[in-house]
Amino acid sequence: MKNVIEIENLTKYYGKARGIVDVSFSVAEGEIFGFIGPNGAGKSTTIRILLNLIYPTSGGARVFGRDCVKDGYEIRRDVGYLPSEVFYYDDMKVLELLKYSASFYGRVDMQRLRYLAEVMELDLGRKIDDLSYGNKKKVGIVQGLLHRPSLIILDEPTGGLDPLMQQRFFGLIREENRRGATVLFSSHILPEVQKLCSRVGIIREGKMLRVEEIGSMRDTAYKKIRLEFREEVPEAPELPEGAGDVQRSPRELAFLFRGDINEAFKSIARFDLRNAVIEEPDLEEIFLHYYGGEDGV
Amino acid sequence: MNLLKRELKANAKSLLAWCLAMVFLIWAGMVKYDAFRKTGDEVNQMLAQLPSALVRILGIGNGADLTSVAVFYSMFFLFFMLLGAVHAGMLGALILAKEERDKTADFLFSKPIRRNRAVLIKLLAAVLNILVLDLVTCLVSIVFVERYNTAGQSLAYPVFLVVAALFFLQLLFLGAGFLAAAAAKSAKTASSAVSVLILGTYLLSVVIHINGDLEYLGILSPFRYFDVNAVMFDRYLSPGYSALSLLLAATCAAGTVKLFGRRNLRG
Amino acid sequence: MNIFRQELKMHVRPLLFYTLGMLAAFYAFLLLYDSIAADAALVDAVLANFPKEFKAAFGFADVSLSDLGGYLSFLFAYIVLIGAVFGMKTGISVLSEEGRTRTSDFLLSKPLRRGRVASEKLLALCLLLAVQNVLFFALALPGYLSKAGEEPNLKLFVLMSFSVFMVQLFFAGIGLFLSVLPRRLKAVMPVTLAVVFLFYIVELINESVLDKTLSYLTPFSYFKASELLSRAAYDGRYLAADLAVFFLFTALAFWIYEKKDIHA
């Protein structure tokens, strides 16, 4: 399969301050790629290099097979971008801004504009300056999707959107994806990445930790086991091998487990329980584990 | 063309304000002139006797007949230069730097537009702004000057030349503003740099004016490029300094394209 | 007083910078004095023949160019001009700071009355201007004394130096007022330079057409050094006009700032 984004040993320093160091990964055509990491990890830096807004210190990146420093113009013709912080020309009305945005790509498809605005419940007649943060985000979403780009880059797009709007927004992204668009979705909120993405790249302190299939991440890894006791939890309960991240309260015990599930049941059977829950941990917990793991060792 | 339209629209209000200020200045100045002319003959005779050293320091009249509208109007050239430098310099610095200041740089430059094209379109928009201001200045000047012109000969051409000189100087300050915006970290720094340039070169021109021995420094101060008396009375617009102004402006523009092309835009 | 301190901190560098500019201009003029001194005696001789009324009209009734004070009185306007730019710039800056940096919500959501915010900012503004004037005076004085000869006219120099402050008050008031008018002021310097230069040009026209009534329009006419030379004091009417403008526009600015909608 063709790669839409190929990043190789990309490094960016802002003077002496670290942006990203030696980042490499690629995004295949037609996939929704999650790009996760905490604040300041380097997500926006990577994205802004892809768009040729800033220049890499070393290394390089290709989008649609083109060099993103040399061919920024050609690349941007087919990219839709939603920045993490949305700022637009305060003196414009929403419709004006959207038309202005569309004018860079050729003709304005008014029908599509109205469709997107309707889905996102965006009032086209209001002044940008009077919009709430969430509404500005909606403007950002519409201007990013308006020209049917084949690569959609979303930098922490859901901030400020209420749950209903998030749903609608995810719906639009899936729709575009089915149509063939590739999506790079940056976020620090894992459940939303989990919902939408097929693969994730995890970045931290400017370095890529790893790239994983969402599915394999969940399978191979951990179960989350939560036990409620009738009596108080014993001082040092005997836990199965492979248990970690133990949290203990007077009547509850929770831990992450990786290993032979039979062994787990054997040790659990010794307790006098009122209830037991075994769940797939969400990415958040795995994510914390990656981070915690590195700090902990 | 969309960017050009956007820039023209975004600057329309400020351009209108500048035009009004210019019209007001010319109108008020000429009305004062009218009153002055009627009582000024006596003063005029006195002025004619003033020693040149004092005239230089006072900066009045240049020993010429102040009651003549041409002489009086030639005084306006300094005013035009001061306002024109501020208009062009600030316009240049901000039209480019405002995208980052208002955090719209990510919006604009993530669109399929080449940086150097964006710079050139903004430059074009700025030049059009200056043209409009100068055109208004020229027309209003001609109307008022001709109204008070008692000499037989029309003064339209020399007035046009004065405004042409203004235009060249404005292009120079515009270029400086662009360069400042491309080189400086923020819009604030860029506009401060331009302010220093304007105030600094103006004061330098004053210093040169007082001490004629420093004439060779005149090349450093655009306020010294054009001798308004030569323009007004000899209808001579120095081709050398016209060319220098244009050359400096073009150099600044080229430098801007180069620097801005390599710039890391602040998000 | 934290806002007060914050404002001072933010404007310390421009303050030093502009003071340096004023000093540079001052010392440049001092250096030029030697070159002009040769002409000066001649000029004085010619001037002696002029009728008193004429000289009064031009504002150099008692001016002797060969005297340092007389010479400087012609050039001090340029130093006032630099000071005026700083006064206007700072005046425009203080109340519009939060709007420009989008920190209004941050500051005004603190338990503070708007009047208090504005007052601390005004106080900082006045202190900045005062400090600048004292600094300029202290650092220019040695230069003045070194060239002023046997009997330096100290009073004149004091009056001249602090006329900068008086003119600054005028522009500070106008600046405060202009800065609260638009919803969100975006750039300080264009407005600053345009307004200061407009007033400066009115003064230049004024000097040519010799109209007393016009002089009330521009603060550059209020404390002209050449007038100070003959009067040895500030003119009460101009002083009143200057302070009236400052207080009126500052009060208006406070009133508008109090009622203004703050846009995030």
Instruction: Please give, rounded to a whole number of angstroms, the shortest distance from the CA of A10 to a CA of chain B.
Output: 16
> Residue B219 and residue B165: Cα distance in Å, rounded?
15
ipTM for the predicted complex comes to 0.90
- Tell me the CA distances in angstroms from C86 to A187, B8, B192, B252, C251, one per residue in order: 45, 30, 11, 28, 21
How much of chain C exceeds pLDDT 90, in percent? 61
Q: What is the pTM of this model?
A: 0.87
- The answer to whether position B58 is within a domain reads no
What is d(CA C162, CA C166) in angstroms, rounded to the nearest whole number? Answer: 7
Q: Specify if B8 maps to a domain.
A: yes
Q: Which long-range contacts (CB under 8 A, 24 or more apart) does C202-206 make?
A: C202/B28, C203/C77, C204/B59, C204/B75, C204/B78, C204/B79, C205/B28, C205/B29, C205/B32, C205/B75, C205/B79
* Tens-digit pLDDT profile for residues C178-216: 999 998 899 999 999 999 999 999 988 887 776 777 789
In angstroms, rounded to a whole number, what is the distance separating the alpha carbons of residues A7 and A208?
11
Instruction: Write out the H or E segment, with its range, that includes residue A285.
Output: helix A283-296
Residue B44 lies in a domain: no
Residue B258 has pLDDT above 60, yes or no: yes
Partner C, chain B 181-210, Cβ-Cβ below 8 Å: 187-188, 191-192, 194-196, 198-199, 203, 206-207, 210
pLDDT band at A296 (very low <50, low <70, confident <90, very high): very low
Please state, as a whole number, how many other Cβ atoms lie within 10 Å of the Cβ of residue A293.
12
Does the pLDDT of residue B70 top 80, yes or no? yes
Among B241-245, C108-112, C212-216, which range has the highest average pLDDT? B241-245
Distance from CA of A156 to the nearest CA of C (A): 21
| pLDDT (average), residues B195-219 | 91
Cβ burial of C139 (10 Å; 0-12, 13-18, 19+) is middle
Q: Which residues of chain C neighbour B196 with C-beta distances below 8 Å?
A: 21
Compute the mean pLDDT over every residue in chain B, rounded to the nearest whole number: 90
pLDDT score of A234 more than 80: no
Q: Where is pLDDT greater, at C179 or A227? A: C179
Confidence band of A295 (pLDDT split at 50, 70, 90): very low
Residue B98 contacts C where some CB pair is shorter than 8 Å: yes
Chains A–C, number of C-beta pairs less than 8 Å apart = 3
The pLDDT of residue B50 is: 64
Q: Which stretch of A51-65, A218-232, B223-237 has the lowest confidence by average pLDDT? A: A218-232
Of B8-22, B43-57, B63-77, give the range with the top mean pLDDT: B8-22
Over residues A63-117, the pLDDT tens digits come to 999 999 999 999 999 999 998 888 889 889 999 999 999 999 988 899 999 999 9
Helix (H) or strand (E) holding A149: none
Verify whether the Cβ–Cβ distance B21 to C21 is below 8 Å. no
In the structure, what pLDDT confidence band is assigned to residue B63 with cuts at 50, 70 and 90?
Answer: very low
State yes or no: pLDDT of A15 exceeds 80: yes
**CA–CA gap between residue A75 and residue A67 (Å, rounded):** 9
- For the residues B151-178, what does the mean pLDDT come to? 95
Task: Domains for chain A: give ranges and CATH numbers.
Answer: 3-218 (3.40.50.300), 222-279 (3.30.70)
Residue located via tokens 């490094």: A11
> Where in the sequence is the domain holding B255, given as residue range(s)?
2-33+69-262
Nearest CB among A53, A55, A74 relative to B106 is that of: A53
Residue among B36, B40, B187 minimizing CB distance to C187? B187
- Judge whether residue C121 has pLDDT over 60: yes
Q: Convert the pLDDT of each residue in C65-91 to its tens digit.
A: 677 888 888 889 999 999 999 999 999
At residue B67 the predicted structure's pLDDT band, cuts being 50, 70 and 90, is confident
**In the B/C pair of chains, how many CB contacts fall below 8 A?**
125
State residue A234 phi and psi, 5-degree precision: -60, 155
What's the CA dihedral at A18, A19, A21, A24 to 10 degrees? 170
Q: Indicate the number of domains in chain B.
A: 1
Residues 6 or more apart whose CB falls under 8 angstroms from that of C112 comprise C3
Q: C-chain residues within 8 Å CB-CB of A90?
A: 184
pLDDT bracket for residue C124 (50, 70, 90): very high
| Candidate from B103-112, B250-259, C97-106 with smallest mean pLDDT | C97-106
Considering only CA atoms, which of A37, A80, A34, A44 is closest in space to residue A196?
A34
Count the residues in chain A: 297
**Residue with the two structure tokens 């086209």:** A124
Q: What is the mean pLDDT of residues A201-214?
A: 88
Sheet with A17-28, edge to edge strand ranges? A17-28, A3-14, A58-63, A66-67
Q: What pLDDT score was predicted for residue C108? A: 86
Burial class of C127 by CB neighbour count within 10 A (0 to 12, 13 to 18, 19+): middle
Task: Summarize the confidence of residues C113-128 as an average pLDDT.
Answer: 96
pLDDT surpassing 90 at residue C262: no
What pLDDT does residue C59 have? 57
Say whether pLDDT at A222 is over 60.
Answer: yes
pLDDT at position C224, please?
A: 87
Inside any domain, residue B151: yes
* Residue A126 per-residue DSSP state: S
B54 CB near a chain C CB, below 8 Å?
yes
